[in-house]
Chain A
């Protein structure tokens, strides 16, 4: 009898403690939200105030953020931007193929292929080390000046080639790190089935490597999608070039802002997508059974 009463008392006590804890949790959550709102208002408001009260803000607004200039220049800049889109899509495909090829050459073992391994290693080292803007100059003007038969002279092609060379050197390293990250037991498992080394790479190692490097690859592509603006040096009327011409003929910078907005329209969704797949990967890894 005694014990039962104590039991009931204990149950009642634990219910009230549960309520107290829930209330405390709620208070903490509310306080957290309030603090983050307040802090955002202070920091972002402060920054905005700093810009808006600066002595030159009126001039800056007129030259950079004029709505009428924006509307006037936008159609031309957009037309130029389609050239950028076409260019980076083609260069991305070339970069994927070339980068994977270089990475595979670097993982070969055969002594006969040593010169190719050497070329691939030197290629990655040199073209990763030269600033992309210099690559565009060197290929765009240097190759043109060679006057070689059969080599295209279209500045768009040459600019695209320069970007493809620079970025395939990066992407080759991304693929190589992906291939290296596949555990050697996978290769052993494939060889034990009687597969050749090439078959093991093709069916076992590379498919896993490619899956793993999708986020860093897409990050490189975000960089590439901005760097297509460098081709403007060679003359093609892509978005930055068009904006630059309009800007200098009217002494306003709003067309450049219009170009910036267009670049953001492709890079931000890409960045969000990279975040999304990385989060998904993290979740999957969290629930992974030991393999």
Chain B
């Protein structure tokens, strides 16, 4: 079996006295993908933000390539340089062109030369069907194009693992497909991913393992066929039934 890239061990977190994560355990193996599903507020996004050290955890550990990264002595900037994150609202920089959005990280955080970073950026953009849009500002692009730029930006720094936080939630339904296909392709190329999603198609197509979060805890986990075909936990069953009723499954 391939080695574990990202590991979460007993992670807890509260906002004030409201617990949002109650002891999360999971391990993403190299070239693998885990999908986190669950209702809004179940803790999926918080977990991803904790893994990228954008939030502090209360207890437990997160490990990257076997080393604890949540220890206070670890430099969070150095950790974030090894991870890539894509956000629900894209978080593109509106005052920078598409190319500048992609070049900023490699040049400033990794000391790559501007020419080399621009070459890599153009290569990624062409691959994602955005050739010729390098000099446009993000607000000239459609939502789907903006999200593709955001994914390209996260990949520009060649991350060890990619964290995807609800990346299709802000998109019009007809644009979701192109993003799903793109992420499925990346998975096919061996990228390691931890994905929070509302899109069950996403979880089914891309994930090796699906974790269902309820109230800050993983109440059920398994392979996609099991989770979507024969879920055992009553909360999982209820959640999937609600999606089915809403026509989203």
Q: List chain A positions with a Cβ less than 8 A from chain B.
A: 185-186, 188-196, 199, 203-204, 207-208, 211, 288-291
A-contacting 9-mer, from B83-91, B121-129, B208-216: B83-91
Q: A185-B87, A291-B138 are in contact. Are A192 and B92 (CB under 8 A)?
A: no
Q: Which of B5-26 contact A (CB under 8 A)?
A: none
Please determine whether B157 and A194 come into contact, CB atoms closer than 8 angstroms. Answer: yes
Smallest Cβ distance from A201 to chain B, in angstroms?
12
Q: List chain B positions with a Cβ less than 8 A from chain A.
A: 49, 52, 54, 77-78, 80-85, 87, 89-95, 104-105, 108-110, 138-143, 146, 153-154, 157, 170
With CB as the reference atom, state the residue of chain B lying closest to A188: B54
Please determine whether B105 and A193 come into contact, CB atoms closer than 8 angstroms. Answer: yes
With CB as the reference atom, state the residue of chain A lying closest to B156: A193
Q: What are 23 A-to-B residue pairs whose CB atoms are below 8 Å?
A: A185-B87, A189-B91, A189-B93, A190-B104, A191-B54, A191-B77, A192-B54, A192-B84, A192-B85, A192-B91, A194-B109, A194-B157, A195-B104, A195-B105, A196-B77, A203-B108, A204-B93, A207-B95, A208-B94, A208-B95, A288-B139, A291-B94, A291-B146
Contacts of A204 in B (CB 8 A): 93, 104
Smallest Cβ distance from B3 to chain A, in angstroms?
23
With CB as the reference atom, state the residue of chain A lying closest to B91: A189
Summarize A's interface: helix, strand, loop or mixed.
helix
Q: How far is the CA of A290 from the CA of B94 in the complex (A)?
A: 11
With CB as the reference atom, state the residue of chain A lying closest to B138: A291
Contacts of B108 in A (CB 8 A): 193, 195, 199, 203
Smallest Cβ distance from B64 to chain A, in angstroms?
13
Contacts of A290 in B (CB 8 A): 143, 170
- Given A193-B105, A208-B94, 9 more pairs with CB closer than 8 A: A189-B91, A194-B81, A199-B108, A289-B141, A289-B142, A289-B143, A291-B89, A291-B90, A291-B94
Of the listed residues B52, B89, B108, the one surrounded by the most CB atoms of chain A closer than 10 A to its CB is B108
Q: How far is the CA of A54 from the CA of B99 in the complex (A)?
A: 68
Q: How far is the CA of A291 from the CA of B109 in the complex (A)?
A: 24
Please determine whether A188 and B110 come into contact, CB atoms closer than 8 angstroms. Answer: no
Q: A193-B80, A208-B94, A289-B139 are in contact. Are A188 and B87 (CB under 8 A)?
A: yes
Please determine whether B80 and A191 come into contact, CB atoms closer than 8 angstroms. Answer: yes
With CB as the reference atom, state the residue of chain A lying closest to B81: A194
Q: How far is the CA of A193 from the CA of B112 in the complex (A)?
A: 13
Contacts of B154 in A (CB 8 A): 192-193
Please determine whether B140 and A289 come into contact, CB atoms closer than 8 angstroms. Answer: yes
Q: How far is the CA of A196 from the CA of B79 in the complex (A)?
A: 12
Contacts of A189 in B (CB 8 A): 87, 91-93
Please determine whether A194 and B90 come into contact, CB atoms closer than 8 angstroms. Answer: no
Of the listed residues A194, A203, A291, the one surrounded by the most CB atoms of chain B closer than 10 A to its CB is A194
Closest 6 CB pairs of A and B: A189-B91, A194-B81, A194-B109, A193-B105, A192-B85, A194-B80
Contacts of A203 in B (CB 8 A): 104, 108
Please determine whether B80 and A188 come into contact, CB atoms closer than 8 angstroms. Answer: no
Q: How far is the CA of A194 from the CA of B85 in the complex (A)?
A: 10
Contacts of A288 in B (CB 8 A): 139
Please determine whether B95 and A194 come into contact, CB atoms closer than 8 angstroms. Answer: no
With CB as the reference atom, state the residue of chain A lying closest to B83: A192
Please determine whether A199 and B109 come into contact, CB atoms closer than 8 angstroms. Answer: yes
Smallest Cβ distance from B45 to chain A, in angstroms?
11
Contacts of B82 in A (CB 8 A): 194
Q: How far is the CA of A183 from the CA of B138 in the complex (A)?
A: 16
Question: Which listed residue (A185, A208, A211, A289) contacts B91, Cβ 8 A?
Answer: A185
Contacts of B140 in A (CB 8 A): 289
With CB as the reference atom, state the residue of chain A lying closest to B55: A188
Q: How far is the CA of A207 from the CA of B100 in the complex (A)?
A: 14
Please determine whether A185 and B89 come into contact, CB atoms closer than 8 angstroms. Answer: yes
